[in-house]
Amino acid sequence: MKDTLFLLVQKLLSNNKIHFDKKELSFQIQSHPSYPSLHAVTGVLDHFNIENVAAEVPVDLETLKQLPDSFLAQIHTDKGNDLVVVEKNSKESNYHIFSANNKKEKYTESVFLEKFTGIIVAIEKPENETVESSGVKNKFLLGILVGALVFIVFYKNPELSVIGHLFLSLVGIMISLVILKQENGEETVIGNAFCSGNTEKKDCDAVLSSKGAALIKGHKLSDLSLIYFSGLTISTLLLLPNFSVVYLISFLAFPITLYSIYYQYAVVKKWCLLCLTIVGVLWLQSAIALINIQALNNYSFYPIVLSLLGFTSVYIIWNYLKPLFLDVNSLKKDKIEHIKFKRNYALFDSLLQKSPTLNTRVNSSKEIIFGNKDSKLEIVVVTNPFCGHCRPVHKVIEDILKRYKNNVKIIIRFNIAIDNLDANGVRVASRLIELFNTKSEQECLQAMHDIYEGEEVGRWLSKWGNTQNIEVSLSVLEVEKEWCTKNAINFTPEILLNGKSYPKEYKREDLLFFVEELEESCCTETVNTQLVN
């Protein structure tokens, strides 16, 4: 199994009816620096704003009944401790266990309690679910393609056997693509269903990676299979209603299936269910050709040339596309490793600690402070409403507040000269300070969102109004400007984490990766200080 943790989290989310982007989920799990630990699971759930709790609970019946209907749990197995997805069946007082290899088992309460270690991850569906799926666009394009194919077929009005043969060719293309992805370590629903749970007799990867899988130098089984079924599909559409050449090709492909079965049985001594599915498709197509054997007497030179042209075109196109596909797949793997390296907190912290610690206190109680004012983790954002580079920083701040509002203190500090009271920067910043102190934190945050998203100043002031008590806001801006000058902070944005400058080796958007570890580090330092004292 290429990514067992992904499959388990995917099952957990599906059971709880939480929509998610499979590609993004897989990427976030594999690129997490703690992968494949349980911490990677909770980290990814936090990334998607899914409320979750990882805990070690008492192993008893009373606790078990209080757990949700579906959760991730650790159980004892013959191979050690494994993670599984648990589904409770309250009516029958039993538990359905789904392991990473797609194996499903049913345990009674007593059996489950014997195997249960007490470690769980439980989740709760978010109230406002906004997870977007990249699959919508692909489904739309697939729908157009299928619609066009159906139109062509019914326009030609072929026999039922021809439609069946064409359908099998499309199935062959689909399975070939699954095999191609399986060879390159990509997850697919079909691949997981057919190839999970390797045994002594079944192992797709062993067959697909063997020498015999490369029937022709430089071309594996997946290549030839994809070329064959694609060429057959094009030939079918081009030659309708004259189908004799396609039937002939189906007969010629039959001996390949015998080689495949012999190789798996006698050489590798393991079976690949995907490969056997291809064999089954070829046999069914040969059977259709055999039933319509009289059609073989009707072929001519022109259909043969047209069919050869179709196969040649597919071969040339695939030889051009395959390197691109492999490059994209390689880039995906490199990106995962890059993100995993970049999200390593130890590296981030080592760079952070090299920075001198600034005193972030100012003589003002009216500053904009979001989150938990008593938090040990303080993030100071030095900003300007009309700084283009500040926009992505404020997007990150919004995301941090959504996930860690109770664990972090965020100070918004403006670096603005107040010489000209009519300057847009002064008018907007002073109004933001006033909104925070006279209205609400949420209202100030929304007003800040609007201006940093590029809303026109006149429209913004019309919506949020002008500053009523300018003197209070100006005193705050003056103190903040003096602090910036004193600490030689001349440019925005600037981010300080407990007084230390955010490492310039990292993108400011990467801050979101480290909030949890930064907060834990602050708590650890506090405890250590108390122990010393």
pLDDT in tens, 484-514: 999 999 898 999 999 999 999 999 999 998 9
**Above 50 in pLDDT, residue 3?**
yes
Give 58-72 pLDDT, tens digit per residue: 888 888 888 888 999
**Above 80 in pLDDT, residue 43?**
yes
Kindly state the average pLDDT of the residues 241-257.
84
204 confidence band (pLDDT: 50, 70, 90): confident
Cα–Cα dist 298/49, whole Å = 64
> What pLDDT, on a 0 to 100 scale, did the predictor assign at position 154?
64
If phi > 0 it is left, if psi is from -120 to 50 it is alpha, else beta; for residue 17 that is left
CB distance 378 to 409 below 8 Å: yes
> What pLDDT, on a 0 to 100 scale, did the predictor assign at position 532?
42
Cα–Cα dist 474/477, whole Å = 5
Local structure of 199: helix, strand or coil: coil
Tell me the two tokens of residue 462: 């019309």
Tell me the two tokens of residue 47: 């990334």
Lowest mean pLDDT among 115-129, 277-291, 405-419, 506-520: 115-129
Tell me the two tokens of residue 335: 């990106």
128 confidence band (pLDDT: 50, 70, 90): low
End-to-end CA distance of the chain: 51
Kindly state the average pLDDT of the residues 38-44.
85
Bigger pLDDT: 126 vs 302: 302
**Above 90 in pLDDT, residue 357?**
yes
If phi > 0 it is left, if psi is from -120 to 50 it is alpha, else beta; for residue 15 that is alpha
531 confidence band (pLDDT: 50, 70, 90): very low
Residue 110 sits at φ, ψ, to 5 deg, of -65, -40
Lowest mean pLDDT among 95-99, 411-415, 528-532: 528-532
Tell me the two tokens of residue 376: 């040990």
Tell me the two tokens of residue 312: 């040649």
**Above 80 in pLDDT, residue 152?**
no
Lowest mean pLDDT among 205-214, 285-294, 346-355: 205-214
> What pLDDT, on a 0 to 100 scale, did the predictor assign at position 138?
57
Q: What proportion of the chain, given as a percentage, has pLDDT over 70?
A: 88
Kindly state the average pLDDT of the residues 127-141.
54
368 confidence band (pLDDT: 50, 70, 90): very high
Kindly state the average pLDDT of the residues 309-335.
88
Kindly state the average pLDDT of the residues 316-337.
86
> What pLDDT, on a 0 to 100 scale, did the predictor assign at position 396?
93
> What pLDDT, on a 0 to 100 scale, did the predictor assign at position 33?
80
**Above 70 in pLDDT, residue 53?**
yes
1 confidence band (pLDDT: 50, 70, 90): very low
**Above 90 in pLDDT, residue 411?**
yes
CB distance 313 to 265 below 8 Å: no
Q: Which domains does the chain carry? A: 4-124 (3.90.70.10), 136-338 (1.20.1440.130), 356-532 (3.40.30.10)
Q: How far apart, in Å, are the Cα atoms of 277 and each of 171, 232, 271? A: 9, 17, 11
Lowest mean pLDDT among 90-94, 321-325, 341-345, 428-432: 90-94
